[in-house]
Amino acid sequence: MRLAMNYQMQQIDRKAIDEYGIPSIVLMENAGKVVVDEILKMRDQYQKVVIVCGPGNNGGDGFVIARHLYNLGVTVKVFVVGEISELNHDAMLNYSILKKLEFKIDEINDDSSMLAFERFLRPGNLIVDAIFGTGMSREVGGIYLRVIEAINEMAHQVLSVDLPSGIDGNTGHVLGTAIEADKTVALVIPKVGNILFPGSDYNGEVIIKGIGVPDIIIERVGIKYNLITKDIIAPLVPHRKRNSHKGDYGKGQIIAGSIGMAGAAILACRAALRSGMGLLKLYIPESLNTLITTSIPEVITVPLSEVRRGVIGITNFQKIIEDCCWPDVIAVGPGCGVNSEISELIKRLLNESEVPMVIDADGINALSKSLHWLENKKCPVVLTPHVGEMSRLTGLSAEEINGDPIGTAVRFSKQWKTVTVLKGARSVIATPEGEVFVNTNGNSGMATAGSGDVLTGVITSMIAQGLDPVGAAVLGVYLHGRAGDIMVAERGEHGLLAGDLVLGLTKAIRELVEA
């Protein structure tokens, strides 16, 4: 499913109206009707519907909603924030229809009208927020600020039309204040502000409804942002044949682990195998070999001599490079530690290997000091940074990255020609071509040590099984989040372990296979 910025929604509307001849008033009528459908589903939850309209198209949708509910016998009250004379053309047209029905509509523009409005913010009334939608790009102020704050403080049930008023549709930022909705009916396709935090917390449950805009118009706008949904990822799950052997499901090479961080290697390997990889070699410092082989006997270990305890020596690099002709994918970084040896190894792998690489954790930390190595890479690269690692890669602050995660990931991927998985509460996958995929599953229980190592293993496994790096990243991120949701349902968010995610992977994959 596509995910839009505000200007892209404006392009969609303009094409529908100007090129396909769908009158804007028809789109407004359809928008109002689909919101009414959702309101009627909630009928046992309210006695009266109070619709709060702004001056633009969102307010026009509100007038349509009021008319249809009125015709159905629902008790409705309508307020206009500001002056009725400020309504745009289509909103004014629908306002005029209501007036001809002798429908009483009140303005909210001073202290006395605010007091009159607040009397309707009582339990038993459903408040419909049709104030701004995607039409807001500046800080909320004046009477609008007072109205939104009153709704948040006093209302018990709120439904927003398209986007909670006060949320920036391009970023999910709160523009000073915003409606705290229980449900949001997103029109045509979801906006970035419906999905990214902190806006996502203000949307409540998001319901996506079409309003008669043909799919071809959405495609013609050329939107490159996508919401990861089952219809996108289900076809990506590698097919397994009854008559097959381990070699049919890919061979992987993981370089991971050091003293004190052997667990990262174990988690990555377990996740790779639980995700369906057929054969896996783990390259580790020789002092970890006994621990690894007893912890995960399914892995082929390649113990390497150490330059010092727990650190692979440079003399091993030629063997690692020569072995690159064996696997379908190489992953490097989980638990490797920060040292000059891992930096040199990554440099050589990028320059000499043509096998797809997944670089995570300490591999990213090493690469951040010498990003120019990516200019001469011979292989496709997937990077999986969290915000702190992305900060080291880009020089941006964590605040800047969190303020624009999509833009940050896209700019980096375009510049360095990598697939970038920016991990977070809403993980973002960006491609060198500027395509973006945003994931919405997962939970706070996954904010635990080792969770990223599990994701590295899953993505590595999917590349080994034949997916291209983009498909592997998209499917891997979804499965990782879904595994977290499955295990949280069983065990709760407090105390969830990364090892629990590995157990959830098989269930997440089975869901997709059996769907």
Helices (H), 333-404: 340-352, 362-368, 387-394, 398-403
Torsion sign across C-alpha atoms 430, 431, 437, 442? negative
Q: Is 133 annotated as a binding residue?
A: yes
Q: What percent of the chain has pLDDT over 90?
A: 97
Q: Give me the pLDDT at residue 205, please.
A: 97
Q: Give me the pLDDT at residue 458, please.
A: 98
Structure-token match 């909210």, residue found? 108
d(CA 359, CA 126): 50
d(CA 270, CA 186): 39
Q: Which two tokens stand for residue 313?
A: 């020596």
Q: Is 165 annotated as a binding residue?
A: yes
Q: Give me the pLDDT at residue 135, please.
A: 79
Instruction: List the one residue out of 209, 155, 164, 210 whose CA is nearest residue 183.
Output: 164
Q: Give me the pLDDT at residue 113, please.
A: 98
Do the Cβ atoms of 282 and 312 come closer than 8 Å? no
Q: Is 58 annotated as a binding residue?
A: yes
The DSSP-derived string for 189-234 is S-BHHHHSTTHHHHH-EEEEE--S--HHHHHHHT--EEE--HHHHG
pLDDT digits (tens, 9 = 90+) for 339-357: 999 999 999 999 999 999 9
Q: Give me the pLDDT at residue 211, please.
A: 98
> Of how many residues is the chain composed?
515
Q: Is 248 annotated as a binding residue?
A: no
Q: Give me the pLDDT at residue 415, please.
A: 98
Q: Is 135 annotated as a binding residue?
A: yes
Is 95 buried (19+), middle (13-18) or exposed (0-12) by CB count in 10 A? buried
Q: Is 247 annotated as a binding residue?
A: no
Residues near 92 by beta carbon (within 8 Å), at least 6 away in sequence: none
pLDDT bucket at 136, cuts 50 / 70 / 90: confident
Q: Is 137 annotated as a binding residue?
A: yes
Q: Is 60 annotated as a binding residue?
A: yes
Q: Is 162 annotated as a binding residue?
A: yes
Q: Is 313 annotated as a binding residue?
A: no
Q: Give me the pLDDT at residue 95, please.
A: 98
pTM, entire model? 0.96
Q: Which two tokens stand for residue 227?
A: 């919401």
Q: Is 413 annotated as a binding residue?
A: no
* One-letter-per-residue 3-state SS of 269-292: HHHHHHCCCCEEEEEEEHHHHHHH
Mean pLDDT to the nearest integer, 118-133 = 96
Q: Give me the pLDDT at residue 137, please.
A: 84
Q: Give me the pLDDT at residue 401, please.
A: 98
Residues near 318 by beta carbon (within 8 Å), at least 6 away in sequence: none
φ/ψ of 195, rounded to 5, equals -110, -45
CATH architecture group of domain 232-236+251-514: 3-Layer(aba) Sandwich (3.40)
Cα–Cα distance list, 209 to 206, 218, 229, 441, 512 (Å): 10, 14, 16, 20, 24
Residue 13 pLDDT > 90, yes or no? yes
Q: How many CA atoms lie within 13 A of 399 on its CB side?
A: 0
The CA-to-CA distance between both ends of the chain, in Å, stands at: 18
Q: Which two tokens stand for residue 447?
A: 């904010």
Instruction: List the one residue out of 106, 41, 39, 109 whose CA is nearest residue 75.
Output: 39
Ranges for all domains in the chain classified under CATH 3.40.50.10260: 6-221
Residue 440 pLDDT > 90, yes or no? yes
Q: Which two tokens stand for residue 165?
A: 């008023």
Q: To which H or E segment does residue 111 belong?
A: helix 111-118
d(CA 230, CA 20): 31
Q: Is 452 annotated as a binding residue?
A: yes
Residue 515 pLDDT > 90, yes or no? no
Q: Is 504 annotated as a binding residue?
A: no
Do the Cβ atoms of 256 and 468 come closer than 8 Å? no
Q: Is 59 annotated as a binding residue?
A: yes
Q: Is 61 annotated as a binding residue?
A: yes
Q: Is 242 annotated as a binding residue?
A: no
Residue 362 pLDDT > 90, yes or no? yes
Strands 357-359 and 329-332: what pairing?
parallel
Residue 491 pLDDT > 90, yes or no? yes
Task: Classify 139 as helix, strand or coil.
Answer: coil
Q: Is 141 annotated as a binding residue?
A: no
Q: To which H or E segment does residue 483 belong?
A: helix 469-491
| CATH 3.40.50.10260 applies to domain 6-221 | yes
Q: Is 290 annotated as a binding residue?
A: no
Q: Is 67 annotated as a binding residue?
A: no
Q: Is 119 annotated as a binding residue?
A: no
Task: Classify 515 as helix, strand or coil.
Answer: coil
pLDDT digits (tens, 9 = 90+) for 415-430: 999 999 999 999 999 9
What residues does 429 pair with on adjacent strands? 421, 437
Q: Is 423 annotated as a binding residue?
A: yes
Label residue 50 left, alpha or beta by phi (over 0 means left) and psi (-120 to 50 means alpha).
beta
Residues near 151 by beta carbon (within 8 Å), at least 6 away in sequence: 52, 121, 127, 129, 158, 179
Q: Is 138 annotated as a binding residue?
A: yes
